[in-house]
Amino acid sequence: MIEWPALAPDARQRVISLPIWDIAVQTEGRASIRVKTFAALIGDPLLRSALEMDAGEEARHKAVLSKLVQAYGIQLEPEPDYAMPRDPEWAWLVTGYSECVDSFFAFGLFEVARRSGYFHRN
């Protein structure tokens, strides 16, 4: 269990006002089903196992984000159904590429926010 830190009202407002939470939770939900669907097509047991672990990790990311938004009272739109992709290999490739782009911009933007004082560092 993660113990989310208490935030001062102004800090909490900055966090909850970010327009990313629905997208973040849904992205992890889609990533999990995409990787899991692709893994099912793989014949090599070791590679399939690695992909299944990755799908589980994406599901864990979704669970962590869901707990974060719950802890801070962030309201989300109802989640869509996460359909299995029609082309699992393409969905897996897109997911991997998207993960790289998301990480690059997310980590950079959070660092900019920290340096600017938008997020305070304890």
Mean pLDDT of 17-37: 94
16 half-sphere exposure, CB direction, 13 A CA radius = 15
Does the structure show a pLDDT above 60 at 50?
yes
Q: What is the pLDDT of residue 67?
A: 94
Mean pLDDT of 51-56: 96
Does the structure show a pLDDT above 90 at 119?
no
Mean pLDDT of 58-78: 94
Q: What is the pLDDT of residue 100?
A: 86
Q: Which residue has the higher pLDDT, 43 or 110?
A: 43
Does the structure show a pLDDT above 70 at 120?
no
